[in-house]
Every structure is written in structure tokens, then in C-alpha cells.
Amino acid sequence: MNILVLCKRQYSARDLLSDQYGRLYEIPEGLARLGHRVHGLASSYRPRPHLERHVSPAGVVWRSANAMPWGPFHARRAVAGVIADCQPDILWASSDALHAIWAVEIGRTLHIPVVIDLYDNYEHFGLSRLPGISRRYRDACRSASGLTIVSHSLARHVQQHYPASGPCAIVGNGVNSAVFHARDRSDCRRALGLPAGATIIGCAGAIQADRGIEDLFEAFQLLAEADPALHLAFAGPRDGTPSRYRHPRIIDLGILDWREVPLLVNALDVAVICNRDSSFGRYCFPLKLSEALACGVPVVAAGVGDVNEILGAPSQRYRPGDAHDLAQKLQQQLSAPANGQAASTAARDWQALAGDTADLLAMCLQRRPR
């Protein structure tokens, strides 16, 4: 297949091309390794030099164009060049509502199938609050040839409210097994300057109120009075929430390079994955949970969305917004750590997920009217 990928360049506080990071980089890489010809156009919502041609290690040909101030529609000249070069059979579009709408318009013009990738609940994004965008996004999903959807809970939501006319596939987020695997805890603590003999709970990710991160800080304060060995370590982009919690055994590691995140995960006695029961939390893929499980680290996660399907043991799930329940579950995991059977099923690698994506793209291409 000749596959054209449309997506944004900056997401999850990373840069798709500079950091070679995440779903929008790894799945096209996997498709290219499977023998497909893959071209991509990354729309930058932050001013960047235009990138005419960048060939990835697997052979994906990327271009980048600034999408501001009018969203991805401003990049029409760039996509015309990609189309002329790629001659796509099918289009795979991800990132947000605007890219979904844009992709369907291009697909109609070229008379090729369009598969929209939902790696989040895009209606939760700020762009979808613009007048008419949410309605047009839902129409785009309905008319798409198929959908790849990041979680079971989001798939159920989509099928209930705006089902696609074509097939859908659950394609979660993958775990880079080359970096997320079990490591020696003492070595990881030494590398990050963490206390060797302490009991450490914590997390790496979005340290923000909209992710329910206050649950972790408040649970730590509840436990720290009775346990002088307990420390809390965290890293990641944040809002003002951490500044509200002052304690000599709270360790802020700032924002780590993504290659260092596995060091923090493996340094923990228990990894905590916070979230809220919100339009984001209910439908997102719990990637930080999968990464912790891949490292073999005991976990406690907010029981929302697909977390409830991945973690069967009640001792590993807490009620979102309930710091006392989180503190109780942390005590249980610290005294009798267990990961259950989740690790083998939750942590799939990117190449396997690229194969799932390729299967759906091929199905949609076969269903294309002659």
C-alpha cells in the first residue's frame, strides 16, 4: 500500500520529528517495516522551519509545514506536494478534529479511502470548542472508511454517538520494550540521585490538576506522617498543583528526557497513575500504566476507563478523587506488592500495533468501491 499520514507535529509535550516519539512516529515506522510505502505530512501548530523531506530509519518520508494561523487547512500546498510524490492508495489521519475533517475532504477529492485515528477523545480538545468543529468532526468519523481507536472505552463511546460506516479496530498505544523493561532498582535510584534505602512512590507524566494529580500528593501526606522512610518522586510537565504541597520528602525531578523516564519508573516501589473520571480520563489509553507493567513495577491506578479492564485486582485500583482510598491501596501494595496477570496483556509493542493498523487499512482498501 501507498499510505499518506496526516497528523500534527507537536503532541504530548514532544515533537514528532525531533524527538522521534510516540504513536504518530512509531506506527508509520512499523507500517514501513512491513513493506508499505509511507509518506507523512506533520502540521506544526508552533512556528518551525518548513521541512521538505526527512527520511526516517524505516524509510518513512516526512514533510512538515506550519499550520498556523488557520489550522491544517493552511498546509494545502504542502499536502499537494506530498500527494504528487506519494500517489497514495489510502490516507491515515490522526491528532485532532481538524485533521479528521481535513482528511475526509482530501479523500473525497482524491477518491481514496480515509481511516481516522482516534488516539484520544478529540471532542475534549480545545479546538473542538470552535463553532461547528465538533459537528463536522462527528460527520467525518461517520463518513470515514474506517477508524483506529485507542481504547475500548472510547470505541464504545464512538459507536454509541457517531459510528463509522466502515470497520473499526482497537489500536492502543505501544510500549517501547527497548527502554521500558525491568531494571535494577538501586542502579536507577543512583542514576537519578534518589535515596537508596527509602520507600518511594511516584509517577512520571502530566503533573496536572486535570489528571487528578492532587490525589497522589494528598495520599502521600496521609501516609508520610506514619512512615518516615516514605518518599514521593515525580517528573513531567506540570501546572501549579505541586507548588501547593511542601514536604522535605517530596522529590521533584523536573521534566526528564523520555529515555530517562524508565529509570524513574524502575526506581519506584509503587508507581501511581492518577486520572479523573472526565471526558478525557474515561476514554484515554492508560499508557503510563502499560509502561509501569512492562517494567514489572507494582502499580495503583485510578479506576477509570480501560484501567478497569487491564487491572482485575481491586487492590490495584482506587476511586478517582479519593485520596484516602489511594492511600489505603498504596499501603496494600507496599506490604504485599502484586501486578496480577496484567503485564503480559497490557504492554504490546509498536510493531504489533502497526500490524493491526495495516490489517484495517488493507480491509478498507479492499472495500473501496470499484
- Quick one: 215 and 127 in the same domain? no
Give yes or no: residues 252 and 233 share one domain. Answer: yes
Residues 158 and 191 reside in one and the same domain: no
Question: Is 244 inside a domain boundary?
Answer: yes
Q: How far apart are CA 317 and CA 130, in angstroms?
A: 36
Residue 71 lies in a domain: yes
Domain for residue 179, yes or no? no
24 is a domain residue: yes
* Contact in structure between 361 and 90 (CB atoms under 8 Å): yes
Cβ–Cβ under 8 Å, residues 62 and 17: yes
Question: Which residues, 6 or more positions from 182, have their beta carbon under 8 angstroms from its beta carbon?
Answer: 266, 295, 296
Segments forming the whole domain that contains residue 256: 185-346
| pLDDT computed for residue 72 by the predictor | 55
> What is the predicted pLDDT for the residue at 73?
55
User: Could you tell me the pTM of the whole model?
Assistant: 0.86
> Do 311 and 222 share a structural domain?
yes
Same domain, 340 and 357: no
Contact 200, 188 (CB under 8 A): no
Buried b (16+ CB within 10 A) or exposed e, 268-307: bbbbbbbbbebebbbbbbbbbbbbbbbbebbbbbbbbbbb
CATH no. for residue 336?
Answer: 3.40.50.2000
Q: Is the pLDDT of residue 131 over 70?
A: yes
- In this structure, the answer to whether residues 249 and 114 fall within a common structural domain is no
CB atoms within 10 A of CB 308: 15
231 in the same domain as 158: no
Question: Is pLDDT of 340 > 50?
Answer: no
Burial class (CB in 10 A: 0-12, 13-18, 19+), 56: middle
**285 plus 314 within the same structural domain:** yes
Residue 180 domain flag: no
Q: Residue 272, SS3? A: strand
Does any domain span residue 283?
A: yes
**Looking at residues 134-139, what average pLDDT do you find?**
95
User: Same structural domain for residues 222 and 139?
Assistant: no
- Phi and psi (nearest 5°) for 149? -125, 135
pLDDT recorded at residue 157 = 95
pLDDT digits (tens, 9 = 90+) for 259-271: 899 999 999 999 9
The per-residue pLDDT for range 206-223, each reduced to its tens digit, is 999 999 999 999 999 999
262's grid cell: 524508565
Of the listed ranges 135-139, 186-190, 279-283, the one predicted with least confidence: 279-283
User: Residue 355 domain-assigned?
Assistant: yes
151-179 pLDDT per residue, tens? 999 999 999 999 988 999 999 999 988 89
Residue 336 pLDDT greater than 60, yes or no: yes
Number of domains in the chain: 2
Task: Give the Å distances, CA to CA, from 157 to 122, 164, 165.
Answer: 12, 12, 15
Order the strands of the 37-44 sheet from edge to edge.
51-55, 61-66, 37-44, 2-8, 90-93, 114-118, 146-149, 168-170
Contact predicate 15/340, CB 8 Å: no
6/81 same-domain check: yes
Tell me which residue has cell 454517538: 161
Task: Give me the numbers of helices (H) and strands (E) for the chain, helices first please.
Answer: 13, 16
Q: Which of 4-18, 56-70, 190-204 has the lowest mean pLDDT?
A: 56-70
Please write the tens of the pLDDT for every residue from 273-296: 999 999 889 999 999 999 999 999
Residues 50 and 66 in one domain: yes
Q: Which of 237, 320, 238 is nearest to 282 (CA)?
A: 320
If asked whether residues 315 and 360 sit together in one domain, one would say no
* Calpha distance 110→4 (Å, rounded): 12
360, part of any domain: yes
Query: Of 265, 236, 271, whose CA–CA distance to 253 is shortest?
Result: 236
Please give the Cα distance from 134 to 116 (Å, whole number): 15
